[in-house]
Structure 1
């Protein structure tokens, strides 16, 4: 196992380099970019979709425009002067060759120096640290809720397979799994926070404005009060999928010969289910825990962050993509790829911890 882990860690480097290189050069070949973004805004052709979605006012790009040399100005109907275009390219570092920019980026990333945002004039590492608690909160609590609800529900459905309980819960699961996350989030807001029906929960934010004035208990309650609707919206589909996965895994194991043998020897049903079946049935479900968290952490929360005005990593990545803010985009890609590779190793280790019969040494299981 140690040799396997060492091999996987060694392979992290070329894998990470390959992913970064592929995305870096593909992005450079794609039409549009930060230079074009600034020019289009200066000419009044900028797309305001980002502002409509996120509520941003475009101050970041205005800041870049106003910081440019006044002698290289926008000339109205005559368009942008070549001198101004060259100045914009120099500010963004596009006056250097492509390979030089790539290797400079890799050198900085080795030191965890992600530079500054093109449009916000802020340290990217500082931005990530500021937004990390929001995404961590959504990812951690959503994953815990999914597993704490879906595993007992799936076991119950397997034990009572074919019963009315199994039938109606399967119907509810199918309905919940078919509702898009963003639609369910909007429904929750309209019913419980929009004021049209009920106002039980806040509309936006991770905490209240007066959060620092509250007692410790008040802070905890305020924190979960704000997270209730976002977490419910994010977990509804995950609970449905994992509950069915748990049920099917249990049903497969219950049909095995060793279960019949254990029952024939007089073992209680609880001993059979939780002493024998559980460990084997939960192998796939529990080993997928790290990957589930990572998926929610980086991808599943973006739409929820936008809808509930939660300023997390998902919203940051969305804004960076819309603005072609390459340093923020590649910093997010670097961190997500690195975490994804380590989580894959962690998932393999989890397999072994759940079932010691599994090993990854040469020769198979």
Structure 2
């Protein structure tokens, strides 16, 4: 981040070069920018084009402030050590602790990830069981077609469709376009706050989950089919055990082990990847897209 174009060193040099002596992050009134010189230096003395016309002492102080006076291996080691301690420093754009900004935004990201994961499991598990029981039927074929189509639609594209259709884009104005709560949220009674929250989060959650049904549904279906073909199921059927009891008392418990084991991966995929653009589109504050 420091060595990227437009990073802190570039900003500091630009501020000094154009006479903004207070533009150095973390500098006071006696900033090194007050010692900036507009004298023409020998081009051989400065390899960096952005440093032309600057006092070498100013450049040296900027490098020291941002750690560029240290070897690369030492800077890299200090960075890893700070990351292990969850010390990400201060935001260069918002003048606040980075970890503090993440803590402020994290509940929104976790909330959207949890609701999306919950809905995916509530829909995919019964659907997968039904597809396994009716394997090869018309229901199995059509349901597979629908979930594959949903899987192939990018979440952000489906989100745009929802905004256009239901958030006042061109047709219906049933849901709010942005934000997690209304402006008058604090004045509502407790049940009004709950309804207001779900009213705002409905479209973001729907856009997030549209592509998440296929994987878990097919995983549930295949897990059930594998269990149904096992010898203990054949034995139970030969003994006259009711089919419902076989499915939900024996097969279900064994097949769900694999499905439950996939919960962490499903939640992480919802939290880190699927909802990134969705939260930006619906103007939901997000921890990982906060400008640092």
For normalisation by structure 2, the TM-score amounts to: 0.82
Structure 1 residue matching 2:240: 3-state secondary structure:
coil
Tell me the SS of whatever aligns to 2:172. coil
- Give runs of aligned pairs for residues 210-359 of structure 1, distance below 5 A: 210-316=184-290, 319-320=291-292
Q: Partner of 1:95: helix, strand, or coil?
A: coil
- TM-fit CA distance, 1:115: 2.4
Q: How far 1:97 moved relative to its partner?
A: 3.0
Distance 2:241 2:14 in 1: 73
Residue 237 of structure 1 aligns to a residue whose secondary structure is coil
Matching residue within 92, 106, 124 for 2:98: 124
The superposition leaves residues 30-62 of structure 1 with CA deviations (integer Å, 9 ceiling, x where unpaired) of 86572465269769xxxxxxxxxxxxxxxxxx7
Contact map agreement 1:92 1:118 (CA 8 A) in 2: no
Could you tell me whether the CA contact under 8 Å between 2:104 and 2:287 is conserved in 1?
no
SS state of the match for residue 196, structure 2?
Answer: helix
Tell me the distance in 2 between the aligned counterparts of 1:233 and 1:170.
19
Q: CA deviation at 1:218?
A: 0.9
The structure whose Rg is larger is: 2
Q: Distance in 2 between matches of 1:212 and 1:220?
A: 11
Residue of structure 2 equivalent to 1:171: 145
3-state DSSP class of the match of 2:168? coil
Correspondence for 1:71 among 26, 30, 34? 34
Q: Match for residue 200 of structure 1?
A: 174
Contact 2:179 2:200 in 1 (8 A): yes
Alpha-carbon distance, 1:65 to partner:
10
- Mark the CA change 1:178 to 1:86 in structure 2 (over 3 Å): closer, same or farther: same
1:282 deviation in Å? 1.9
RMSD: 3.0
Partner of 1:144: 118
By how many angstroms is 1:295 displaced? 2.2
Q: Distance in 2 between matches of 1:208 and 1:277?
A: 46
Return 5+ residue gaps in structure 2 as ranges: 17-22, 41-48
When residues 150 and 215 of structure 1 are mapped into structure 2, their CA distance, relative to the original with a 3 A threshold, is same
2:161 matched to 1:187?
A: yes
Deviations 1:224-254 (A, max 9, x none): 1111111111111111221122112211221
Contact 1:259–1:272 at 8 Å: present in 2 too? Answer: yes
Cα offset for 1:73? 5.3
> Does the 8 Å contact 2:181/2:200 carry over to 1?
yes
Kindly report which structure 2 residues correspond to 1:27-42, keeping only aligned pairs within 5 A, or say none: 32=5, 34-35=7-8, 38=11
Q: How many residues are treated as equivalent by the alignment?
A: 273
Distance 1:100 1:224 in 2: 49
Q: Unaligned stretches of 5+ in structure 1? A: 1-26, 44-61, 321-365
Question: Structure 1 residues 145, 85: CA separation in 2 closer, same or farther (over 3 Å shift)?
Answer: farther
Contact 2:164 2:171 in 1 (8 A): yes
**Shift in Å, 1:210:** 1.8
Map of 1:159 onto structure 2: 133
Cα separation, partners in 2 of 1:247 and 1:133, compared to 1, 3 Å: same
Change (3 A) 1:294 1:73: farther
